[in-house]
Structure 1
Amino acid sequence: MNISDAIAALDPKHGIHVDGRGTGADRTFTVQDPATTLDLAEVADAGPAEATAAVDAAARAFPGWAAQTPRARAELLRRAFDAMIAETDLLAGLIVAENGKSQADARAEVAYAAEFFRWYGEEAVRSEGDYAVAPASGTRTIVTHRPVGVAALVTPWNFPAAMATRKIAPALAAGCTVVLKPAAETPLTAIAIARILHDVGVPDGVVNVVPTTDAAGVVTTWLEDQRVRKISFTGSTEVGRRLLRQAADRVLNSSMELGGNAAFVVTADADVEAAVAGAMVAKFRGGGQACTAANRLYVHADVADRFVGLLGAEVEALRVGPGADADAQVGPLISARAVDGIRALVEEAVAAGATVAHRGAQPEQGWFYPPTVLTGVAPDSPILRQEIFGPVAPVVVWDDEESMLAQVNDTEFGLASYVYAGRLQDALRIAERIDAGMIGINRGIVSDPAAPFGGFKQSGLGREGARDGIREFQETQYFSVEWT
């Protein structure tokens, strides 16, 4: 089945998935292929009424789903994992089409996304509690956990499968029901995942998907609904701040995975070839459109020339093109606006003294920006202070560790960073002084469903993945038992 037929089979004009059924709306919005700028699909455009209907369904389904045995929930999550793996071609094709990723990156995302269903299927049956004798005796304390209730999930466009499953899987494992708003740029993958969950037997109303261009209207409807007891958001820090202000009115349980400004540190004794290989992954995977992407490269003066030379050769050799091309390694940016933003950042840096040392290819059609390496970047350059979210690698040369660490930590963000060093002890010593929730040590990837994903400072609140992820969808309850 080609991608056009696959999209048609999803029936996106009825892509609002509520109470186990696809429904339409009074209007639709257009999803475009960023590699060609051509229209892919017309998708039902939900509003507050559809948002409320989704909560109605989730609230009706919640008591029954919460009462399911952990084993029953676990079996359904495992079946969801198997189904996603079986549908890899479909899901990867949708990601390539609406997001623009290369086929290799899209298939890797499907595998990563599916793993959350398997991981939380295993965690669903491992609910922890506690039993203790009160210090003053006379009572016993029993501690348990219960699902928080209906959870509102808001996901971004850059990982349309993984960001959905990273929230849906722990919520379902905990016994919550969910309403999901995917990004308007990439709703098709979320619609497909909803269909998969329905087909494996997840009860109607447990998972509801509401695509929309009225993000504020839909999410505000959820935040103001007394039946919604949880908001889990992944996106920009700016939007996260606004949602937190709204959530404060109801003291709503909130998880926020927000922006990043990851540093990539290379020491004088690092394995330079390995560091370059890691930088290629940390910076250019997904075209650099990831919150964990290496945003600033701090390379020791002793190895800077060699590092930049090797990195530049790799960047110039990157095959840039549409994900439909099996040989493409780097796809387009998500929109024309994103391209304009990256171009302005680079021009500003060059005007301030930076040099475009190496540059890759740029196709004539589509929303592409050429992979770029900047050198001569001043430590106080604006390009180092904001999330680039594109295939641009600014290199800063350092020779004093204290000064370098001060620069690395001089940011409001603290999501991820990377350290390459010859001695593991040195890498860990530097990593322990970096204000970030996740540090890659001699590797260019930090994400793992079995590890707690999240950051410090204004990069968010809470954690996703690991045991921490299921706790985000649970309330702790204890019983004080008379014991005389």
Structure 2
Amino acid sequence: MIVNKDNELSLCFPKADEVPAEHRLDSRVDQRVWLVGGALRKWEGPNDLVLSPVCIRDPVSADLRQLEIGSVPRMGEPESDAALDAAVAAYDSGRGTWPVMTVEGRINCMEVFVRQMIAVKSKVVKTLLWEIGKSADDSAKEFDRTIDYIRQTIDALKDLDNRSSRFEVAEATIGQIRRTPLGVVLCMGPYNYPLNETFATLIPALLMGNTVVLKPPQYGALLFEPLLAAFHEAFPPGVVNIIYAPGALVVPRMLASGKVNVLALIGSSKVADQLKKRHPKSHRLRAILGLDAKNAAIVLPDADLDLTVTECLAGALSFNGQRCTALKMLIVHRSLVDRFLSRFCEALDNLKIGMPWEKNVKITPLPGLHRTAYMKEAIEDAVAKGARIVNDGGGAFSATLYKPAVIYPVSAGMKLYREEQFGPLVPVMAYDDIEEALEYVITSDHGQQVSIFGSDPATIGALVDPLVNQVCRVNLNSQCQRGPDVFPFAGRKDSAEGTLSVADALRAFSIRSMVAAKQTMENKELLNAIVQDRRSTFINTGFIL
């Protein structure tokens, strides 16, 4: 795809020889291997081209061309059937090696995987940078945070299992209660955090004894290539199977088979609703879903303007606003709105726009031309209905690089009023009565988070009480965010199903099961013999250090 845009932003794109040597890809990644049934199989079929968000500028014509960085297999229904069947066989109705393995054994396998994952960090981080346009610093942070998340999950599992390593006696009945796996998990992550968000469901699903079919996102598929060998070597055959195929083609088919027990999806509520309906016994399908969000910031008249601008700027535009937790609507009291907009636009002008490898860069290229096209369409809609672009040069773009735009006043009927923009657009609306701000949140289809900026305890306290019944996290004088990972991450309405955090995710991918016996001498002797001779991985009183 060649695009010629004659503006200053086009000069941000490099010529081929201007890319710093330390950030260049060593070579194209034309993936010809996939993991299924414990084997790294050679792929003989067609591949789909992977284009980087980064464009290369022709030294003569100044035309911009998205850089070709590799290709991934273009698989179809036969391959998805093979991946799903391999996961089903590995689970073997709960009799497979993985689901009956001790918790300590699964942890040992995961620790092998972590060591091998760390060994390929450089390649994963560099691929992440080129594949989705995330800055070098943020790409490295995503990798490191994922490693931390795995280690925290292992520690949480040890605590969970150790608390279960005892017998309980009630009403003359002896019982041992543990969490057990659910079966086969279909795991799909998003392009904006293709490593971290995917692993936020994949890792707890595996540690609890489930087998997995993993379908990488369209943008962010290549970064899994360096991890294939680690998956292959760390886990028993069929525990992890990776399919590269269009989701619309293979995912409905896998769910319609009835063989998937858990759907783990980070995506849109519309897609999730359609997929769940494909399962022949929907009551058997557990869904762990991270879906749409349109998080608002409510700025009260007494808000600290410096703090509010800093937090709202980061909340709205970190990684170009491509985060489900991003602030996607700023609701500012009318007495403050002019000063807020002036300060916000001034701070925005200081954000560095450029390539992902540049130091202190804040705004980087978007995944493709379709994203800049959407931003342009949303702005045109808002302007046609009475809004304006407040910041100088806002909305200018060149190919995949887009200068953030602050749009005000945004009102009902505009796309930006309700649609999740998922990009560098900052809608702002004013309110006179706090009920207007509350009504926006209450009538929204989304219910993930909200931020409140202000200083009066009585006002904030009165706002918190109704808002916690509309969203799952209220942030005081700070942007919306996911972390720390030990805190619950959930959503109401169309924003999520199930709760994710280090501990919650382990519970989400498991169910409580128990063994019970009447409290007789014979049963006590039986249970003692099973424990002492280690005849069962479920019935045990071992302690994992």
- Does the pair score TM above 0.5? yes
Q: In the alignment, is residue 453 of structure 1 matched against residue 489 of structure 2?
A: yes
- Which of 31, 43, 48 is the aligned partner of 1:12? 31
Aligned to 2:241, what secondary structure does the other structure show? strand
Q: Secondary structure at the match of 1:263?
A: strand
For the structure 1 residues 194 and 420, does the alpha-carbon distance in structure 2 shift closer, same or farther, using more than 3 Å as the test?
farther
Partner of 1:48: 77
2:363 is aligned with 1:330: yes
Matched, 1:34 2:90: no
1:329-348 → structure 2 map (5 Å cutoff): 329-348=362-381
Partner of 2:442: 409
The question of whether the paired residues in 2 share the 8 Å contact of 1:19 and 1:58 is answered with no
Q: 1:163 aligns with which of 197, 205, 216?
A: 197
Please show how residues 366-377 of structure 1 align to structure 2 within 5 Å. Answer: 366-377=399-410
Q: Does 1:277 align with 2:310?
A: yes
CA–CA separation in structure 1 for the residues paired with 2:417 and 2:339:
22
- Residues 261/362 of structure 1: CA separation in 2 closer, same or farther (3 Å cut): closer
Following the alignment from structure 2 to structure 1, what is the Cα–Cα distance between the partners of residues 142 and 445?
28
Q: Which runs of 5+ in 2 are unaligned?
A: 1-21, 56-65, 521-545
The Cα shift of 1:389 comes to 0.7
* Matched pairs, number: 478
Q: Which residue of 1 aligns with 2:223?
A: 189
What secondary structure sits across from 2:54 in the alignment? coil
Which shows bigger deviation, 369-378 or 69-78?
69-78
Partner of residue 476, structure 1: 512
1:283 CA drift (Å): 0.9
Whole-Å Cα distance in 2 between the matches of residues 344 and 65 of structure 1? 49
Distance 1:383 1:248 in 2: 37
Mean CA deviation greater in 220-229 or 281-290: 220-229
Specify whether residues 466 and 379 from structure 1 end up closer, same or farther in structure 2 by C-alpha distance, changes over 3 A only.
Answer: same
Change (3 A) 1:14 1:85: closer
1:243 aligns with 2:275: yes
Q: 2:249 aligns to what?
A: 217
1:345-382 per-residue CA deviation (whole Å, 9 max, x = no partner) reads: 11111111112111567886531221111122225533
Equivalent residue number for residue 214 of structure 2:
180
SS of the residue aligned with 1:433? helix
Q: How many angstroms apart in 2 are the aligned matches of 1:233 and 1:146?
A: 21
- Structure 1, unpaired ranges of 5+: none
Structure 1 distance, partners of 2:477, 2:115, is 32
Q: Distance in 2 between matches of 1:427 and 1:479?
A: 49
Structure-1 residue corresponding to 2:477: 442
For 1:162 and 1:425, locate their aligned partners in 2 and report how far apart those are by CA, in whole Å: 38
d(CA) in 2 for partners of 1:107, 1:263: 28
Relative to structure 1, is the Cα distance of residues 25 and 276 closer, same or farther in structure 2, using a 3 angstrom cutoff? Answer: farther
Partner secondary structure for residue 177 of structure 2: strand
User: SS at the partner of 2:125?
Assistant: helix
Is the 2:394–2:406 contact (alpha carbons within 8 Å) kept by the matching residues of 1? no
2:263 is the counterpart of 1:234: no
1:53-89 CA deviation, whole Å, 9 max, x = no partner? 2223323433211222222322443454455455443
Alpha-carbon contact 2:174-2:516 (below 8 Å) kept: yes
Equivalent-residue separation in structure 1 for 2:202 and 2:32 (angstroms)? 23
Gap change, CA 1:198 and 1:420, over 3 Å in 2: farther
Measured at CA, do residues 15 and 237 of structure 1 come closer, stay the same or move farther in structure 2, by a change above 3 Å? same
Q: What do the CA deviations read for 1:146-196 (whole angstroms, capped 9, x no partner)?
A: 111121111221111112111111111211121111112220123333444
Query: Which letter does structure 2 place at the counterpart of 1:55?
Result: L
Deviations 1:23-46 (A, max 9, x none): 315221111111212221121112
Query: Within the alignment, does 1:205 sit opposite 2:241 as a pair?
Result: no
Match of 1:64 in 2: 97
2:178 aligned partner, one-letter code: T
Deviation at 1:3, TM superposition (A): 4.7
Larger mean Cα displacement after TM superposition, 386-395 or 250-259: 250-259
Quick one: structure 1 residues 478 and 216, their matched pair in 2 at CA, closer, same or farther if it must change by over 3 Å? Answer: same
Cα displacement (A) at 1:145: 1.6
Letter in 2 for 1:230: V
Q: Which has the larger radius of gyration?
A: 2
**SS across alignment from 1:175:** coil
Tell me which of 467, 480, 483 is aligned to 2:503.
Answer: 467
2:265 and 2:288 in contact (8 A); partners too: yes
Larger mean CA deviation between 364-373 and 228-237 belongs to 364-373
Aligned ranges for residues 99-118 of structure 1 at < 5 Å? Answer: 99-118=132-151
2:134–2:319 Cα contact (<8 Å) kept: yes
Q: Say if 2:351 and 2:363, in contact at 8 Å, map to a contact too.
A: yes
Q: Deviations over 1:374-416 (max 9, x none)?
A: 1222255331111011111111112311221011222111122
Q: Given the alignment of the two structures, is residue 148 of structure 1 paired with residue 185 of structure 2, yes or no?
A: no
Over the matched positions of the two proteins, sequence identity in percent amounts to 25
TM-score by length of 2: 0.81
Contact 1:178–1:206 (CA under 8 A) maintained in structure 2: yes
Contact 2:372/2:399 (<8 A) preserved: no
**Structure 1 stretch displaced more, 138-147 or 62-71:** 138-147
RMSD, aligned CA? 2.5
Are residues 119 and 426 of structure 1, via their aligned partners in 2, closer, same or farther at CA, if it must alter by over 3 Å?
Answer: farther
> Which one-letter code corresponds to 2:346 in the other structure?
A
Q: Secondary structure at the match of 2:222?
A: helix
CA displacement at 1:315 relative to structure 2: 1.3
Secondary structure of the residue aligned to 1:33 is: strand
Q: For 2:417 and 2:309, locate their aligned partners in 1 and report how far apart those are by CA, in whole Å.
A: 19
